[in-house]
Structure 1
Amino acid sequence: MKNVLVVLGLSASLCLVGCGGSEESETAVADEPAAAPAAEPETASEETGTSEFAAVIEARQQNYKTIGGNFKTISDNLRADEADIEAVQAAAAKVAELSLEVPSWFPEGSGPEAGVETEALPAIWEKPAEFTAAVERFQTTAAALNEAAETSDMAAVGAAFRPVGGSCGGCHDEFRLDDD
């Protein structure tokens, strides 16, 4: 059982890196509301050199940090001697909820061309069908994780956790700038 938990912990660490979270970060958790996407602006401001998309990009980044924080909560509980199932359930529910919002976080023009630091690659808008498929994989695996958490069975949570991380990594491979 300990070997399974170690493997799950390592997988979770990789997921956190992919979602922008880290083991040491104090990231938002389940109770924090998702940042609402700003209205879709039309153009970037040439006078200031900043983008009207700054709020959209900032909200997107905060939402991913919230997902990462909730992944950390689940990961920590998978490794704990005694899991806080209520915390796991709240975290899994928040991940599932936010997964449904992901498509609205990427309005046209909120990529690198916005002039605001973002790790979102142009491929998101150049390959919309592929991006949509990647988001749908995340939504499906996040829903399965939430269903597993609702059973209060930590073994089921552990089994459902890894595929969510895989869906995150699959999307990041093609649609997110590699920080390395």
Structure 2
Amino acid sequence: MSAQPTTKRLSTRIKMVFAMVLGSVSVAAIANSATQVIEARQQNFETIEQNMKPLNSTLNTDLIDWSQFSALAITSHQAAIELQSAFPKGSDAGSRAKSSIWSKPAKFNTLMSQMEQGYADMLEAAERQDMALAKRGLKQVSGTCKGCHRQYRSVW
């Protein structure tokens, strides 16, 4: 019995997990009211927040568990994709998001796209087992999180 190369198994595993994620109903797609929209986007932000530390920890070990890194990057990437359409007009009331998201959306949308791209880079890094690309993607995501929190999130 010959063993498949690790990269081929990883590639197949990534494709299967990605297909499952895409095949599932997105949280944002089923949100009908402004309250549901806010709850859906908060859930996506929580997913991203919960995954940041484990993503970072995974890269700071001697032997990287690329399948774990990939799984975390996949769920975070899906959340980032959903967040790009999670701020429709009228979904500002009752949230901590600042009104500038809706009144001046260009920079906010750019930051959201940069976050999504950072996760896309992490997915590619997991497939190629490329530590440098994984760290660049994580750094990009981290920078966009900080940028958005400072400019677009109210403390109150």
Q: Of Structure 1 and Structure 2, which has the larger fraction of its residues in helix?
A: 2
TM-score class normalised by the smaller sequence: 0.7 to 0.9
Shift of 1:72: 2.2
Letter of the 1:145 counterpart: M
The total of aligned residue pairs comes to: 134
5 Å-filtered alignment, 1:19-34, equals none
In structure 1, which of residues 154, 168, 178 is the aligned counterpart of residue 131 of structure 2?
154
Change in Cα spacing, 1:159 to 1:120, as seen in structure 2 (3 Å) is same
Match of 1:82 in 2: 63
C-alpha distance in structure 2 between counterparts of 1:178 and 1:150, whole Å: 38
- State the percentage of identical aligned residues: 36
Query: Is the alpha carbon distance of 1:136 and 1:156 closer, same or farther for their aligned partners in structure 2, counting shifts above 3 Å?
Result: closer
Q: Could you tell me which runs of 5 or more consecutive residues in structure 2 were left unpaired when the two chains were aligned.
A: 1-17
**How far 1:135 sits from its partner (Å)?**
1.4
The corresponding residue for 1:63 is 44
TM-score scaled by structure 2?
0.73
Counterpart contact for 2:114–2:140, Cα < 8 Å? no
Deviations 1:84-135 (A, max 9, x none): 2101011112222222221221121111xx2x3x221111001022222221
**Stretches of structure 1 lacking an aligned partner (at least 5 in a row):** 1-29, 42-52
SS in 1 for 2:84: helix
In the alignment, what sits opposite 1:18?
none
| CA displacement 1:61-101 (0-9 Å, x = unmatched) | 11111111222221121233433210101111222222222
Structure 1 residue 36 displacement after superposition: 2.9
